[in-house]
Amino acid sequence: MALPEPSTSGRFGEFGGRYVPETLVPACLELEAAFREAWADPGFRTELDDLLRDYAGRPSPLTECHRMSEELGVRVLLKREDLNHTGSHKINNVLGQALLARRMGKTRLVAETGAGQHGVATATAAALLGMECMVYMGEVDMGRQALNVFRMRLLGAEVVPAVSGSRTLKDAVNEAMRDWVATVENTHYCLGSVMGPHPYPWMVREFHTVIGTEARAQCAALLDGGVPDVVTACVGGGSNAIGIFSGFADTDAELVGVEPAGGAAVGRGVPGVVHGMKSYLMQDEFGQVQEAQSISAGLDYPGVGPEHSHLSAIGRARYEQVTDAEVIDAFQLLSRTEGIIPALEPAHALAWISRDRAALAGRTVLLNLSGRGDKDVGQMMEILG
């Protein structure tokens, strides 16, 4: 099965939809119409492809990890999204949304960010296109990702702390959505993952299918026309995972998303509504949203994109959980064996491979290395002493 378009109501099975205040319904409808028109326009697609190639540095390479594979007994291939401009997969989606916003006549971008990579990418695109930019970031995340806060400000963005709730990603989303409600005439909300009200989960997925398309062709060249046995990626909201899954959903490859144990929306959640969508959501017996916990600021989110909930519900993908301690070990493992320092987010997927190495022995696993670890080195210095 290829990943399909959502229904006319913006649903993947029972998940998704458009749960927003009445004041935002016209904005969502306008965005869907504009995206459909742009995505069918060869001129828009060419402009985006040119930027992805000449500015972001695509295609990102496929790297085989010989030393680490030997140690694990598993053949590990990395899709190197860490080598994109700004250091993660986020630039794919942001360039697409920024071009779309300009096409719609918007002059200002607002965004939420957890680890800071989406915020950096949004600030980068705004600088490139001459747009105003405001990024909301949880106060806790601003402390542990101070380097990315400086990068955003250097790029001309205003970074605003979210001081409510857990002061992390969930709260940054709340603040960004409040801003959008108040400024919708001239502002585009550049949402950073496959979450939120329709059309965001579908639109963001489409901007990230470039990952899966490239990886499918690269794996075919390396594996004599074949596909990996397993395709894996970390999952918070889930954009990097859905991007790479999109290239292999119609194959026999097993799709495995890896969540933090303290933020396992698929693993521990139940269907609920948050941030404009129905999806699996960590909530208590009274339906109140529970706080997520992760060593990684980018995965510190109590929900998950609705398409991931659907893929889990129909059995096409499965979702594993790993602990912070396992992530710390995986972060060091890739650095030590391959000279590649991963972001803490994709280190979750590597932690699952390492933990399940016996069950994966002799198999080929493709991991989406969605970001590089520069932003996490300070945090890891404190943890590792």
Active site residues: 65, 89
Half-sphere exposure of 123 (CA within 13 A, CB side): 24
Distance set, CA 298 to CA 194, 260, 270, 328 (Å): 13, 10, 21, 15
